[in-house]
Structure formats: structure tokens, C-alpha cells
A and B are shown apart, each in its own frame.
Chain A
Amino acid sequence: MNDVVKNTGLFALVGALIIATGFMQSWNSALLILNMGLISAIMALGVNLQWGFAGLFNVGIMGFVALGGLAAVLISIAPEHDAWAAGGFSVIAGLLLGAATIAATIMATKRMPAGRTRTLVVLALLVGGFFLYRAVFDPGVAAVEAVNPANAGFLGGLGLPVLLSWPVGGLLAAGAAWIIGKTALGLRSDYLAIATLGIAEIIIAVLKNEDWLSRGVKNVIGLPRPVPYEVDLQASEGFRSWVEGAYSARLDGLDADARASALADLVITTSSITVKFAYAGLFLFVLLVLMWLVQQALNSPWGRMMRAIRDNEVAAEAMGKDVTGRHLQVFILGSAICGIAGAMMTTLDGQLTPGTYQPLRYTFLIWVMVIVGGSGNNFGAVLGGFLIWFLWVQVEPIGLVVIQTLTAGLADGSALKSHLLESAAHMRLLTMGVILLLVLRFSPRGLIPEK
């Protein structure tokens, strides 16, 4: 019982921190923290599946999150018919040729006996396939990117509801995880780390440079939403009268002019809060479903097997468990969860901006969440997600206040003071590092330890 009380207390504490933000700053920022906290918690669940359950060291979370974001674009944006007509099919044909080349090479390596002939055939396949791929692919890309480059210049998506992109984001991430897992799992743990670090950089590079796919650094903006727009709410009669009714106590004492302007303000604030609540509801639903699934997994024979493998690979293998196979499974599942979270995040932002994906924010911060929360415990990971996200957002203003107090004695306009004030924004990296090291040192099992 003691554990339950302590854990509920910890969650209540984080809840209180977010509510305090609502009272002290604004409800809009509190809800923003809540929404991103929900998404961070889902990412932390995915990493916890890999690290906490199986001991896999994945530092490519950013890549899987970005793939989820790509899914949001590919599913929800309307297709660009002109671009498809101009070169869409040669782009697709080029990609298929590239995939066929790789498949043929793998077949050749596997089927042919080792020797000089095989090396020559593999080389010929790779070189020939590469030039063929470029010959088909490049003109297609040039044609697609030439169509209305200022507003489009890409193939667009499928024009389906954006909610569909969440599972698809998971699938994309799972596919990428399968490729990495096939090559890097079963080797040393550091190698998986480097491999995932690399694939994440490559995925971001692809998103930044392949303009035909998602407009690259020109960004895709205005993704469709799963919830109503604020302006539509403000224009709707029902919403206005609902706000009027809800705030009648505050509005009643005012004269007609003041009442109208106060109502207008209230409608604007309430509409943006309502939209954020709607998002929070959707995200909470996904979090609860995933939470239920991973809890089931943790307590099932499969979960016990995973932990047995994590704690002693040799013993588990001697018991007839397929260690590499199980690792591949859990690696794919965890990455898929990160992909889902990535699609949700892009949906919340309403835009895909490849330039903003930074490994410190999207990979290493998630690691801090899992370690601080408690690796191996799903509730711990979720708690870590909320708590660390809250700190990540709030350390910047707090750091600014601290620096302002510390430098209050310095003369205004002095170079040192302005430099310190400017640098306050970088306090958050420092804080995250300190928190991570302190937790690792003094409470290595996290806030809510594994049972």
C-alpha cells in the first residue's frame, strides 16, 4: 500500500505543478505543457519498453519521432495531382528500382558461393543498380519539384483523416527499426547505440533534403486537424452562448459595452483552451491504451522472458530463448510507439519542420525522462515524461529569474551582464545533465523503481 500512496503522491505532485502553472502563468501554457507531457510520456513508454524491459540502448529516438511526423504529412495532406502527373511515377519507379537493387544484392550474397564471382556480381549489381536508380529517379524529382515550388513542389499525401497517421507513423518507425535491428542487434550493445544514432541523423537528413517527399526545409504547414479550429468555434453560435452561460456570474454585473468586449475576450481564450483540451483528451486516450498494453506485456510470460533475457542473456539462451529474435521484436515495438508519438506531435503542431529536430531534445531528453522516472517501470516512465517535460519548459524562465537576481548588482548594460542574461536560455541543458547525474548517482532505479 505504501508504494501506491507514494506513487499517487508523485503523480499528484506533477499534476499540482502543471495546475500551478495554470494559476501563475496561464491556462494556455499549462495545457501546452500537459499536451506535450502526454506525448513525451508516450515516447518514454516506448524507450522504457526497449531499455527497461530488454536493456536495449537506442539513441535514435529522434529518427523514429521524425518518421511519425512524416507519416502525418503523407496521410493527411491532399495529393498534388500536377506533381504526380509531372514525375510522381518515375520517382516511385526509381525508388522501387533502388529497393530491387538492394534486394538483389542481398539475394546474391546469400545464395551464391563465396568467391571472386560473387564479389564481382555484387559489385556489378550495386553499381549498375545505383546508376539505373539515379537515371530514373533524378528526372522525376526535378519534374516534381518544379511544379509550383513556392507552395507545393512535392507529391503531397493521401488526403486521409490525420488520425489515421498515428498508427501509420508507428508502422513507418517499425519498418525502420526492423532494418536497423536486423543489422545491429546481436552485435555489441554500443554498436546498436552508434547505429541508431546514425540512422536518426540520416532520417533527418532525408527529411531536410528530399523536397519531393515533404518539402524539406521549406516545411509543410497547415496540416488538417482532428479537432475544430479556434476561429470556427469563435464563429459558432452554440459555443458563444455556452461561454456566456458558463461565465454568467462574471458577466452579469457589467454594462452592455463592457459585457460585449469581456465576452469577446472570454470566447477567444475559451476557444483555444477548448481545442487544447480536445487534444489532451485524444492524447490521453492513446496513452491509456498503450499503457494498458505495455502493462499487460510486462506481466505476461513474454514480459518475464524479456526481463530474464535482460538480466542474463547467456542463461536465457541456454533455456532455449531466441535472444536476438526477442530483441528484434521489442526493438520494433518500442520504436513503433515512438513513431506514434511523433505523428501525434506533428498533428499537435500542425506542421512538419525538419530543421527543428535536435538530438538533445528528441533523443537524450527522452532518456533523461526514462532514467529519472524509473526504468523498467511503465508508471515511472510516464511520470518521468511529465516531470522532465515540465522542467524542460519551466527551467528557462526560472533560469532567467535566477540570473536576473544574481546579476542585479552589476551595472546595467555591462557586457558581462548582458552576456549572462542572453545565455540564460542554455541553463536547461545544464539542468537536465545535473538532474540525470544526480538521479543516476543517488537513486539509480529512478523515482518509481521496478518491482
Chain B
Amino acid sequence: MDFLNAIVALSNFVLVPAIAYGSQLALGALGVTLIYGILRFSNFAHGDTMAFGAMITILVTWWMQSAGINLGPLPTALLALPFGILGCVAMLLLTDRLIYRFYREQKAKPVILVIVSMGVMFIMNGIVRFIIGPNDQRFADGERFLISAREFKAMTGLSEGLAIRTSSVITVVVAVIAVALLFWFLNRTRTGKSMRAYSDNEDLALLSGINPERVVMVTWLIVAALATVAGVLYGLDKSFKPFTYFQLLLPIFASAIVGGLGNPLGAITGGFVIAFSEVTITYAWKKVANYVLPESIAPDGLAQLLSTDYKFAVSFVILLIVLLFKPTGLFKGKAV
């Protein structure tokens, strides 16, 4: 019985949150890795792109809520998501047209593009703060829990409860759908194949008649969709605050690099590696340990390896370890 309780406590505090967080990171890292593979630079504006897409979605959600449109038990944000994606697509295509294209034609060095993306980051950050303000915004509605801790206890008779929030389930389901669509697109469609060809060998792809501008445009479309979905899911699961999205840049980059920059499978793996390490290392293990260990050696303290404030340090240390021992990431990434 104690063992079952330990498993439930573990699922409740570690597995479920880490899976949800990992899905969000994976979606973010996929965007970063795609830009890196096709456009060949690290996009510092990605966190703010996520914030921008999420902001449009939130505004549409609020409008829908005030107009009485909703999805019943599901959050209205899901209905508003396509509008957010459209807004984000428009924004990214506009920045590409006005800003990035010039440097692409010049064949500028990647680091110049990184600095340019810094400028875009400032602008997007400014726009988001200008429109929605720098504060926390709540936009989740519908049922909060799929199973609440109390129901679970009544159902199973265990003393530990397992609460599964609707947002966690939606995160995982939406992420799985998005990733499946992405891989289907990259592996099965003509455009997807031309994207992979372009990413593998630009010159060869150009010789075989692939239109680079089209590949770049499709990349931005996919990145906008991924970033908006990641941003909205993160906002539903936690809360929307422009600055947290900016800070997400670090774990997202860590995920993409740990997995191997430019490799989509790597980005997903990296996202889960980072999320699980962050959650397990900053979790107070006292409860689980008390169930599993005999009373004599059960810990007195919280048995927390690091305080939650240091969660950035975790992604950073994992990043360092991977960089030191396997510089191209777990899956073979690019090294330009």
C-alpha cells in the first residue's frame, strides 16, 4: 500500500508536471531547431514570439468569453488558438520580409542574424508589453481538473491523491498532435522533403530546383504555429507573463542543444530531458521517501536537492555536461 502511495505521490508531483512541461519545452525547442536548420541562426526572439502568439490567442479568448462562446469543459483558448497562430504567422512573415530577408540576400554571417534577432526580440517584447502589459494574465476557463485529488482518493482508497489538471492533459494531447503533424509533413509531403533537403545541403537543394524563399516561408509558418501552441499551452498550464516567456529562452535553447541543434527528434528528447531533470532535482522527495524507506532511515528534512529558484541552473548544468562530452548533442545535430 505504501509503495502504491509512493508511486501516486511521485506521479502527482513529478511525472505529470514534468510530462506537461516537457511537452511545452519540446514544442518551443522544435521551433528553435527548425529555424536553426533552415535559416541557420539561433533565434533569440523565440521566447517573445511565443509570447506574441499567446497574447493574440488571449485577446481572442477574452473576446469569445465576453461574447459567450465557449467549449464547455475545455478551455476557450483552444478555440482561439487558430486565430493566435494566424496573428503570429502574419507577424513572423512581416519580420522576415522587412528584416531577415535583407540579411539572407547578403549572405550575412549567422552571428549577425543572431544580433538582428536580438533587435526583433526588443520590438516584440515592446509590442507585447504595450498591448497586454507586463503583468500576469489569466485566461484559462472550463473544468480545472480531469480528476481531482479528492475524487482520486475516494476512487482508490489510497491516502495520496493524484490530481490531473485538464491543462496537463490538453498540453500532452495537443503536443502529440502537433508533433505527429510536423513529422508527417517533414517526411511525407513534397514541401517537407524539400525543407529537409535544404537543411541538409543548401547548394544541392538549390541545384535541384528548390525555391529557397518558399522553404523559408513555410518554415516561418510552421515556427509560428509551434511557437503559438507552445506559448498558449504554457500559459494555460501556468500563467501568461511576458517576462517568463523571455526567460523560457534558456531551457528551450538548452533542450534544442542537448538534443542536437537542427534535429527535430533531438529537440523533443531534449525538452523531456530538461523538464524531467528540472522537476526531479527541485522536487522535495520527503513524501515519497517516507513511503518507500523504513522509518529509521527516512529523511528529516525536505530531501530537496536544489531549491526551485535554481531551476535555470539545472538546465544550464545539463547543457554544459552535454556540450563538454558530446558537443553535437545527444542526436547528431549540426555544427556550423
Q: Which residues of chain A have a CB within 8 Å of any CB of chain B? A: 55, 57, 59, 130, 183-184, 187-191, 193-195, 197-199, 201-202, 205, 208-209, 359-360, 364, 367-368, 371, 422-423, 426-434, 436-437, 440-441, 444
Contact = CB atoms under 8 A, between A and B. Distances in A.
Contacts of B323: 183-184, 187, 191, 195
B118 interface: yes
A153 B189 CA distance: 63
Contacts of B180: none
Contact of A367 (B115, B125, B134): B115
A205 B313 contact: yes
Interface in B80-126: 99, 102, 110-112, 114-116, 118-126
A429 B254 CA distance: 26
A437 B130 contact: no
Contacts of A193: 42, 114
A426 B129 contact: yes
Contacts of B110: 189-190
B130 A427 contact: yes
A188 B122 contact: no
26 contacts: A183-B324, A184-B320, A188-B336, A189-B111, A190-B42, A190-B110, A193-B114, A194-B42, A197-B253, A198-B315, A199-B316, A201-B312, A202-B313, A423-B129, A423-B131, A423-B133, A426-B126, A429-B123, A430-B122, A430-B126, A431-B126, A432-B122, A432-B126, A433-B120, A433-B121, A437-B123
B201 interface: no
B320 A183 contact: yes
B295 interface: no
B126 A427 contact: yes
A205 B310 contact: yes
Given A59-B44, A371-B115, A433-B122, 9 more contacts: A184-B320, A187-B327, A190-B41, A190-B114, A360-B246, A364-B121, A432-B126, A433-B120, A437-B120
B148 interface: no
B330 to A, nearest CB: 15
Contact of A437 (B99, B127, B247): B99
Query: Which of A187, A202, A429 has the largest count of B CB atoms less than 10 A from its CB?
Result: A429
B335 interface: yes
A431 to B, nearest CB: 8
A367 B249 CA distance: 18
Contacts of A359: 246
A440 to B, nearest CB: 6
A429 B42 contact: no
Given A205-B313, A359-B246, A440-B116, A364 B254 contact: no
A209 B308 CA distance: 10
B104 to A, nearest CB: 13
A209 B111 contact: no
